[in-house]
Homo-oligomer: A and B are copies of this chain.
Amino acid sequence: MSNGLDNDKAKNVSETLAKSTLDGVNSHGVNRFPLLLEYIRTGQVSINVEPEIINSNNSFCQINGNFGLGILNAQFCTNKAIEIATKNGIGLVSLKNTNHWHRAGSYGWEAANKGFILIAWTNTIPIVPPHGSKENLIGNNPIVIAIPRKNNNHIVLDMATSQYSYGSIANHARQNKELSYYGGYDSKGNLTKNASEIRNGGRHMPIGYWKGSSLTIVLDFLAAILSGGRTTHDLGKNSNIDTGMSQVFIAIDPKTFGNESFQQNLIDETLENFKAYSVGEPDSIRYPGEGVLARRKNNLKNGISIEKEIWDQILELREEK
Residues of A within 8 A of B (CB): 54-55, 57-60, 62, 88-90, 92, 117, 130-135, 137, 145, 147, 155, 157, 159, 161, 163, 181-182, 189, 191, 206-215, 217-218, 220-222, 224-226, 228, 230-234, 250, 252, 254, 256-257, 259-260, 262-263, 266-267, 269-270, 273-274, 277-281, 283-288
**What is the distance, in angstroms, from A291's C-beta to the closest C-beta of chain B?**
10
> In the complex the two chains form, is B221's CB within 8 Å of A147's CB?
yes
A208: nearest residue on chain B (CB-CB)? B207
Oligomeric state, in copies: 2
Are B208 and A277 in touch, CB under 8 angstroms? Answer: no
For the complex, what is the distance from the CA of A88 to the CA of B89, rounded to whole Å?
Answer: 12
Are the CB atoms of A155 and B221 closer together than 8 Å? yes
Q: Are B134 and A233 in contact (CB under 8 A)?
A: no
**Residue among B58, B62, B135, B215 making CB contact with A277, cutoff 8 Å:** B135
- Out of B59, B133, B254, name the residue touching A90 (CB < 8 Å): B59
Inside 8 A of A147's CB, which chain B residues have their CB? 218, 221-222, 225
What secondary structure prevails in chain A residues at the interface with B? mixed
Chain B residues contacting A266 (CB-CB under 8 Å) are: 224, 230-231, 233-234
Sample of 20 more A-B contacts, CB < 8 Å, known A145-B215, A189-B281 = A59-B89, A88-B88, A132-B278, A132-B280, A132-B281, A132-B285, A134-B279, A147-B221, A155-B217, A210-B286, A213-B285, A214-B287, A217-B287, A217-B288, A225-B260, A225-B267, A226-B252, A231-B270, A233-B273, A234-B270
| A207 / chain B contacts, CB cutoff of 8 Å | 207-209, 211-212
CB of A214 within 8 A of CB of B157, answer: yes
User: 26 A-B Cβ contacts within 8 A?
Assistant: A57-B88, A60-B90, A89-B92, A92-B252, A131-B285, A132-B284, A133-B285, A134-B277, A135-B277, A145-B218, A147-B221, A147-B222, A157-B215, A161-B211, A163-B209, A163-B211, A182-B182, A182-B191, A207-B207, A207-B209, A211-B212, A217-B287, A218-B288, A225-B267, A226-B252, A233-B269
Q: Are B163 and A133 in contact (CB under 8 A)?
A: no
Which of A57, A225, A273 has most B Cβ within 10 Å?
A225
With the chains together, A273 CA to B212 CA distance in Å? 19
Give A287 to B218 CA distance when docked, in angstroms: 9
Q: How far apart sit A84 and B215, CA to CA, in the bound complex (Å)?
A: 25
> Which residues in B have their C-beta under 8 angstroms from that of A222?
117, 145, 147
Top-4 shortest CB links A-B: A207-B208, A60-B89, A132-B285, A55-B257
With both chains docked as a complex, state the minimum distance between the C-beta of A121 and any C-beta of chain B, in angstroms: 11
In angstroms, Cα B85 to Cα A59, docked, is 9
